[in-house]
């Protein structure tokens, strides 16, 4: 049997799990393409942004991960176009032939057409974004510590987090705790009453995907931390240090953190008729792209049709991507042997969100709900063991223990990516 060439575009949760499992079948030669040379763990980006974890804690080089896997290769490149008739993909590093093509490109930040927000806000989607946010927060603190203009200081010390989903809740909660403890010690020049953190959302609730109980408990905890939660506040513009809402209200700030939405990455070469809501690629129960036998889409970028339990598509969560990647690996092997394929069925393992130290909520299957330390502990265990390698798990656990005992970390560096001249 001739070896089949599988090309995977994207090395996130879906892509890395597909590659890892499929590499055990020597009938395939797999090439994983990604614009970064490392895999990273998005749920912990906010801890990099707030200086509680190093970027290396949540990242791991693809080439080191692939060592010893003879049928698995990595190609550093950014996807440009697919030529479906020729079974080729074009990246900025050249062309690659395939027998099976898998899109696992994930999503990108959605600014809903607001160009000023796109230009001026700080997103939370990549490792670079997290490091840029850390630099922004710390640089603004340094500026505020040396100026006497009270209005300017207030803008430097006010932070608006747009989007009250898990990322928005987690980053605003972490910042609030840091202001109450760490920054108070680091910057004695600044008064605690000058600092204001806003969490805003167009919806009337926080943590929209979670249970009402989790939403209510989270809202109470956020307010208890001193965070000003503004619901039913849709951001309309952000220019000249002013966040403007659709209801006409405004907030002056130098920092708008944008966690408010995502959209599927554009895939040139795919026909428009295979795209659904939010540009998500329409797939069948086997993750095959609509109308194609050898092209697949996984994770956040796809919208599965035919699953009665999820008529509007699966939630864009890590567990969906992981499970789809593993299921497709099994199905590709079954295809070669001529055996019936296995339909994808999502096993919901629950949803969690952390608000601060010992403050978290967890909605688990069968209606189980936890809050406080138990939910906080569960969140730590799940996220720790979801990291890709043992090295990452050990380093992250160490940093967490130091932070838990001391309520502090020593990773607050302003690191400019530009070389010194």
Of residues 64 and 209, more confidence is placed in: 64
CA proximity to 245, closest of 255, 231, 263, 259 = 231
Report all structural domains of the chain as residue ranges with CATH numbers, in order of start. 4-35+77-108+263-337 (3.50.50.60), 115-260+350-406 (3.50.50.100)
pTM attached to this predicted model:
0.92
Residue-averaged pLDDT of the chain? 93
Most distant CA pair in the chain: distance in Å?
A: 75
Instruction: Give the Cα separation of 176 and 198 in Å (integer).
Output: 10
- Is the pLDDT confidence value at 1 over 70? no
Phi/psi at 303 (nearest 5 deg)? -130, 110
Estimate the share of the chain in helix, then strand, then coil, as percent rounded to the nearest 5. Answer: 40, 25, 35
DSSP annotation string for 49-100: HTTSS-GGGSEEEHHHHTTT-TTEEEEE--EEEEEGGGTEEEETTEEEE-SE
Instruction: Give the Cα separation of 118 and 315 in Å (integer).
Output: 25
- Is the pLDDT confidence value at 305 over 70? yes
- Is the pLDDT confidence value at 413 over 90? no
Q: Which of 78, 170, 177, 305 is catalytic?
A: 170
CA proximity to 314, closest of 356, 283, 338, 353 = 283
pLDDT of amino acid 71? 96
Mean pLDDT of 222-235: 97
Cβ atoms of 164 and 199 within 8 Å: the answer is yes
Task: Give residue 273's pLDDT band: very low, low, confident or very high (50, 70, 90).
Answer: very high
User: Over the stretch 187-213, which tens digit does the pLDDT of each residue have?
Assistant: 888 877 788 999 999 999 999 989 999
Within 13 Å of residue 3, how many CA atoms lie on the same side as its CB? 15
Whether 189 is a known active-site residue: answer: no
- Is the pLDDT confidence value at 281 over 70? yes
- Is the pLDDT confidence value at 419 over 70? no
pLDDT of amino acid 385? 83
Mean pLDDT of 312-338: 94
């Amino acid at each position: 049997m001739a070896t089949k060439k599988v090309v995977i575009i994207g090395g996130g949760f879906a892509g890395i799990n597909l590659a890892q499992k499929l590499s055990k079948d020597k009938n395939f030669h797999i090439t994983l393409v990604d614009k970064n040379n490392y895999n990273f763990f998005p749920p912990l980006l906010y801890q990099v942004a707030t200086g509680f974890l190093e970027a290396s804690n949540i990242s791991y080089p693809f080439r080191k991960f692939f060592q010893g896997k003879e049928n698995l290769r990595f190609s550093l490149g950014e996807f440009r176009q697919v030529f479906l008739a020729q079974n080729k993909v074009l990246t900025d590093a050249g062309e690659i032939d395939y027998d099976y093509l898998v899109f696992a490109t994930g999503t990108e930040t959605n600014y809903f057409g607001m160009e000023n927000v796109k230009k001026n806000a700080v997103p939370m989607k990549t490792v670079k974004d997290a490091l840029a946010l850390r630099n922004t927060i710390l640089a603004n603190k340094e500026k505020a510590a040396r100026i006497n203009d009270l209005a300017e200081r207030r803008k430097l010390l006010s932070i608006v987090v747009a989007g009250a989903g898990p990322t928005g809740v987690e980053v605003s909660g972490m910042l609030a705790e840091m202001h109450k403890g760490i920054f108070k010690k680091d910057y004695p020049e600044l008064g605690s009453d000058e600092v204001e953190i806003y969490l805003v959302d167009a919806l009337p609730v926080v943590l929209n995907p979670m249970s009402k109980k989790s939403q209510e408990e989270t809202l109470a905890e956020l307010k208890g931390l001193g965070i000003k939660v503004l619901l039913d506040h849709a951001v309309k513009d952000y220019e000249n240090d002013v966040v403007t809402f659709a209801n006409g209200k405004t907030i002056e700030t130098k920092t708008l953190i944008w966690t408010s939405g995502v959209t599927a990455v554009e895939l040139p070469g795919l026909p428009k008729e295979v795209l659904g809501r939010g540009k998500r690629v329409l797939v069948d129960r086997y993750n095959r792209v609509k109308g194609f036998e050898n092209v697949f889409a996984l994770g956040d970028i796809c919208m599965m049709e035919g699953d009665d339990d999820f008529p509007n598509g699966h939630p864009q969560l890590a567990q969906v991507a992981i499970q789809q990647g593993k299921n497709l690996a099994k199905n590709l092997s079954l295809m070669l042997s001529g055996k019936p394929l296995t339909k994808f069925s999502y096993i919901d393992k629950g949803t969690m969100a952390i608000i601060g130290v010992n403050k978290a909520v967890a909605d688990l299957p069968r209606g189980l709900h936890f809050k406080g330390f138990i939910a906080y502990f569960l969140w730590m265990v799940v996220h720790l063991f979801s990291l890709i390698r043992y090295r990452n798990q050990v380093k992250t656990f160490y940093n967490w223990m130091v932070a838990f005992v001391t309520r502090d970390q020593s990773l607050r560096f302003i690191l400019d990516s530009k070389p010194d001249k």
